[in-house]
Homo-oligomer: A and B are copies of this chain.
């Protein structure tokens, strides 16, 4: 049987302002059925929730920033309060009155839940609701729409433990369907057509039973320290040199990962292990080796200590994971 998925984006929505009732807007413009997914751009959610601010967006950037992830020239990529890693924290200066900017919704999962609840209450439809925003990404040019808020939706399909028809365990364990839906919706809404709403039909299996909010878009965010790319490449070097905030590099590395790094940076320095620690003997200009070691320890989540000097004066250093 052919699987068919449809995205419909009505126009004629008009400009949305602070206090507008988004559920009413959805019900007025979208033809809904149980099992549909309603996609709303974060922009109109922000507008309805009064997140418009006067002035240049750089004024709002510090308040929206948890930490800077990378910076190059005028581009600042930060991790914001929602855990999203975005240029300018996701603050938007397009499709708003000139001289203004728009903050992201304060809690887009809550925004999605409210719309879902109101649609159920007023029209009796069990639909999922998804709030989107546009984001750049590592490694690839251009931007795609992603899911920043969700209610009543399985945001990922959990395939862990399943096998393919050949009996292989599935390597891809969690298609991020919420992000795929957000991107699909952008194909129907576009950026310029004044179509902030769309409806996906054909995947009712992704919609949770009435009353269940589900994990929300928060489940799509990697936790701080769980990401191999929590810092831009240059920022990682600066962070390792400056010390502090070691947690952004993640949990202590496996001994073999740190050993491989040491082998590249201080070849020949590693001594045979006498347990779970790593031991090494400093060669070359000592202060330089120690700086290197301190940085690697910081980035890899290990601690350095020094053994008493041996009879011939050589320093043996010992590394152990910073938490047990």
A interface, CB within 8 angstroms of B: 1-11, 70-73, 75, 77, 84-85, 92-98, 134, 137-146, 155-157, 159, 162, 164-172, 174-177, 179-181, 183-184, 186-195, 200, 202-203, 219-222, 227-234, 236-242, 248-250, 253-254, 257, 260-261, 264-265, 285-288, 290-292, 295-296, 299-300
Contacts and interface: CB of A to CB of B under 8 A. Distances in A.
A262 to B, nearest CB: 9
Contacts of A142: 155-156, 174-176, 179, 220
Contacts of A220: 140-142
A299 B234 contact: yes
B227 A229 contact: no
Given A6-B4, A265-B238, A288-B290, A144 B179 contact: yes
Given A138-B229, A187-B181, A171 B202 contact: no
A175 B133 CA distance: 12
A202 B166 CA distance: 35
Copies of this protein in the assembly total: 2
6 contacts: A140-B222, A141-B174, A175-B186, A229-B233, A233-B249, A241-B295
A189 B84 CA distance: 28
B6 A229 contact: no
A267 to B, nearest CB: 9
Contacts of A70: 228-229
B192 A183 contact: no
B287 A85 contact: no
A4 B8 contact: yes
Given A144-B175, A187-B177, A300-B234, A227 B291 contact: no
A300 B234 CA distance: 7
Contacts of A84: 139
Nearest to A174: B142
A251 B185 CA distance: 36
Given A8-B2, A171-B93, A233 B238 contact: no
A187 B5 contact: yes
A189 B3 contact: yes
